[in-house]
Structure 1
Amino acid sequence: MTISYRLICAVVAGSLFSAALMLGQGAQRGAASDPYAAKQMHDAIAAAQGGDEARAIEIVRGLVAARPRFGPGLKLEGMLLEDSGQAGEAAEAYEAALKLAPNDAELLLKAGSMELVAGKVQRAAELLRRRLRLVPGDEDGSYYLAQALHLEGDNDGAVAVLKAALKKGAGHPASWQKLGELLCSAGQYTEALTWLEKAQKADGSLARLPFDLAVAHFGLQNLKEAEAAAGEEARAQPGDVEDLMLLATVRIKLGEYAAAAEVLQGVVSARPNDAAALVALGHCQVELKEFPAAIDTLGRALQVDPTQTLSHFFLSRAYAGVGKTDESQHEIAVYRELQQHLAFAPGAAEAKRNDLLLAQARGLIEQGDEAGAFRVFQDDARGVTGTVGSPWVLVGSVYLSMGRVEDAQRVFLKALQVDAKTPDANAYLGNMALEAGDLSRAEGYFNAERERDANHVFATAGLGAVRYRQGKWQEAADLIARSKTTDATLLYLECDALFRLGLREKAVLVAEAVATYGRGNEAVGRALDGLLRRNGEETLAVRLGR
């Protein structure tokens, strides 16, 4: 068992009160006035120092059961449980201790870092912010808070936290490395490289430092340096798939396709369903003129993940390489059809941050705190999308996700009362009217949204859905296509409209988009299968249904 360093020091000093002081303010007074607590604390620490972790935990649990409001006992319980690998129970003990000592800076760090490791990012950030208010510029608290903010999608905030700590004298190489990593995420590769090289000079043994250096060099297009650093990480951590993918990408950029393919074969052997690795391997095989192998590899990539649009681009080249001109032309047409939707999809970091905000707001709404949910979006700059009414739109979207349609409608209308030009409110109301079958009201809402923004994706696509229900096939297809939507249900309507117009070639391409963006949606899949078969496209139906 590994006891924390400060706890060992307290035990070696032979003083219960030294340990109690480490465990929190007031512990010395509490133990001194309670002989039972004093003895139990002493016995637990002694058992832990003697290597009997089970006995130490048993003693401290007995103390906590008898003295549930004795904070130092709860804190010691958390430390012992954490050191014994019982992270979940340790976190519970720390949380109980925090209720008694909410301004215990060490407890805040302990609990915050554990919540971060457990994936409870919002709670971790909350605790670590409290830590930094008590200990401004604290390096440990800043390090973990920066990581939490990064995971929330607030990379700029993470960089600011670490830079503030560095200004106050933080000097651990791990902090320099973390800052370099975050700067890489922000695309600030020159500054990132400065901090990473500083960390390397101070401690070249830091975990994943060669990988971070490789990312910085790759961002600066220092390809040989990136290859060397990624190669070093691969030798140290041969199972690091992220690094192996970077190494392969660098080698592809250098035109070293055989060497890249060798790395990718290893990744695919270990992870047969890694779609990104399959696409990259297929690319190498195309460049090496191994066209049949490339067709097989890229086909596997699309089976794993139909949204890997580059597969269609390389498949076009592979089919051309074996003389299959029709298939080649079809694949490049599919690639172009899918590409036009990508620019409208949110980035991964933005999507993650939005999910966290929505989850937080939903929790408050479930507790009956609508005003609190409003403040979540109002206080967070990234949650506000344009006007003073925008936070209400986001609250309404949460209500919709919960199936509370009347509340959603009330809140969307409130957003428009606050500001008639609030983005998205009319689009949501239009969609709700469309689902209720009120085409006239839906059209009115969608047109109101498009008066504010003629290119609004959802309003344009929604108006296309209205035209589809009215049997106006050409206008429906044109509007949905113009919206660039990735909504598979709307794309299905476009596909059907195109078949009805006799535009078979375009309809087939849109069917590919329906299958791609409707992956996992069984209802859409069944509808598409029936549509294709009704229109004589049985072969395509079979292929897309796989």
Structure 2
Amino acid sequence: MEDPTMNAPATELELGVLRHLRGDLEGAEELYRVALAAEPENPVTLNNLGFVIAQSGRFAEAVTWYERALDLDADRAVAHLNLGNARAALGDLDGGIEELRRSAELAPDNATAFDNLGQLLLLAGRYAEAETTWTEAVRLAPGDPAPRTAWATVVAARGRLGEAVEILYQALALDDEYAPAWAQLGALLVVRGDLASGCDALSRAKTLAPADTDVRRHLAVALMSLGRRDEAAAELTELLRVDPAATEARVDLAVLHLAADRPSAALALLDRALEKAPDDDRALLHRGLALRELGRTSEADDVLRALAESGSAYSSRASELSEPDVR
């Protein structure tokens, strides 16, 4: 979004910006459209209208407004930035990368353009380019923990876990309440085998961002690895309260119930998970185990036999658990 020079009396464009800044997307869109009707070749209005439409999730429509803005002003860096993000949201990573590169060329001091470009390069698996891009974003915004945390993501993806941890500590030195850095630090520490420190970092992230379900799941996995099953179950239960559609977490909780000799509770969770994702082989495997624990041997064998013959990643384990005639 661009903020035009404010003059008195305020124009529809300026009033639209004010509503936009307050989070009133519908009101902002309405005013931008009024402004556009009065001045149909204003690239600021066209860009802002595209941006508010993109924020409403209508990315294909937003693209048309950004392109109109660029037809009028081909060097408008913010329109290239917004167009790149919209193209990426529509699944066109290459197109998004091209637009964001152009934005960065036109506004080489804009850390946001480099940060967003790094995100797309990471998604495209172009790790070396992503790292170079985020290094530049960090140079441009040395006091902002966000690009530094993103840089750590790609450093970790390239296998340099120790270096990534150090970068995250640098980000937290800038802002020790930046939840994404704590979350990523916790996940990396767990991967490196430092489960206790990883749990501490993830717990800190959870305190700062209690609605982040990914943090809760990573914390639950770390707690399970430490044998703290009741705490892990509590995290997963809360996660499912926040996000009832989190099928993977539902299966994790079922596994904990099985380990605690509660097959009925596990089966109820697994059946619900399979309603949402009927081809979830991990859920099917543990459903077979739950049925067997409940003495429903015939049903268990049917589930495990079908899974053993499916050729999935869990086939060999299902085969080991099946009746001898299917081995």
Q: Normalising by structure 1, what TM-score?
A: 0.48
For residue 131 of structure 2, the aligned residue among 159, 167, 176 is 159
Deviations 1:405-439 (A, max 9, x none): xxxxxxxxxxxxxxxxxxxxxxxxxxxxxxxxxxx
User: How far is the alpha carbon of 1:145 from its aligned partner?
Assistant: 0.9
Name whichever of 49-58 and 228-237 sits farther off. 49-58
CA contact (8 A) 1:187 1:219 kept: no
- Which whole-Å CA distance do the structure 2 matches of 1:86 and 1:323 have between them? 52
> Mapping of 1:460-479 within 5 angstroms?
none
- Partner Cα distance (1:332, 1:262) in 2: 29
> Quick one: distance in 2 between partners of 1:315 and 1:87?
38
Match of 2:313 in 1: 342
Check if 1:105 corresponds to 2:56: no
Instruction: Give the percent of matched residue pairs that are identical in Structure 1 and Structure 2.
Output: 20
Q: Distance in 2 between matches of 1:55 and 1:170?
A: 33
Residue 249 (structure 1) aligned with residue 249 (structure 2): no
Instruction: Report the Cα offset of residue 262 of structure 1.
Output: 1.8
State the Cα distance separating 1:49 from its structure 2 match: 7.7
1:11 and 2:15 aligned: no
**In structure 1, distance between residues paired with 2:6 and 2:181:** 36
Structure having greater relative contact order (Cα 8 Å, sep ≥ 6) = 2
Counterpart AA for 2:34? E
Q: How does 1:109-258 map to 2 (within 5 A)?
A: 109-116=81-88, 121-135=93-107, 138-166=110-138, 170-171=141-142, 172-258=144-230
**Contact 2:36–2:46 (8 Å) recurs in 1:** yes
Change (3 A) 1:253 1:62: same
Q: Distance in 1 between matches of 2:18 and 2:239?
A: 45
Deviates more, 1:45-54 or 1:109-118: 45-54
Return the alpha-carbon distance in structure 2 between the equivalents of residues 295 and 193 of structure 1.
39
Do the aligned residues in 1 keep the contact of 2:50 with 2:66 (CA within 8 Å)? no
Task: Measure, in 2, the Cα distance between the counterparts of 1:238 and 1:46.
Answer: 36
**Aligned partner letter, 2:39:** L
Q: Partner of 2:34 in structure 1?
A: 58
Q: 1:309–1:106: structure 2 CA closer, same or farther, 3 Å change rule?
A: closer
The answer to whether the aligner puts 1:78 opposite 2:78 as a matched pair is no
Indicate yes or no: 2:259 matched with 1:283: no
Residue 118 (structure 1) shift: 6.3
Following superposition, the deviation at residue 308 of structure 1 comes to 3.1
What SS does structure 1 have at the residue aligned with 2:177? coil
Change (3 A) 1:288 1:156: farther
User: Quick one: distance in 2 between partners of 1:294 and 1:334?
Assistant: 20
Mark the CA change 1:336 to 1:229 in structure 2 (over 3 Å): closer, same or farther: farther
Aligned residues: 308
Do structure 1's residue 263 and structure 2's residue 235 form an aligned pair? yes
Are the equivalent residues in 1 in contact too, given 2:13–2:31 (CA < 8 A)? no
Deviation at 1:80, TM superposition (A): 6.0
Distance 1:250 1:50 in 2: 45
Contact 1:61 / 1:77 at 8 angstroms: preserved in 2?
no
Task: Summarize the Cα distance change of 1:160–1:255 in structure 2 as closer, same or farther, 3 Å threshold.
Answer: same
Deviation string 1:358-394 (CA, Å, 9 cap, x unpaired) is xxxxxxxxxxxxxxxxxxxxxxxxxxxxxxxxxxxxx
SS at match of 1:99: helix
Match of 2:22 in 1: none
Where does 1:370-385 land on structure 2 (aligned, <5 Å)? Answer: none
Amino acid in the other structure paired with 1:291: P
Indicate how the Cα distance of structure 1 residues 331 and 155 shifts in structure 2: closer, same or farther if over 3 A, else same.
Answer: farther
Superposed CA offset, 1:48-75 (max 9, x none): 68879655652343111xxx4xxxx122
Gaps of 5+ in 1: 15-39, 344-480, 485-503, 510-546
Shift of 1:337: 4.8
CA apart distance, 1:280: 0.8
The 1:93/1:236 distance shift into structure 2, 3 A limit, reads: same
Matches of 2:244 and 2:31 in 1, distance apart?
Answer: 46
Q: Structure 1 320/110 Cα, relative in aligned 2: closer, same or farther at 3 Å?
A: closer
Change (3 A) 1:119 1:202: farther
**TM superposition score normalised by structure 2:** 0.74
For residues 457-487 of structure 1, what are the alpha-carbon distances to aligned partners after superposition, in whole Å with 9 as ceiling and x for unaligned? Answer: xxxxxxxxxxxxxxxxxxxxxxxx9xx9xxx
Q: Give the conservation status (yes or no) of the 8 Å contact 2:46–2:68.
A: no
Equivalent residue letter for 2:313: L
Residues 335 and 247 of structure 1: CA distance in aligned 2, closer, same or farther (over 3 Å): farther
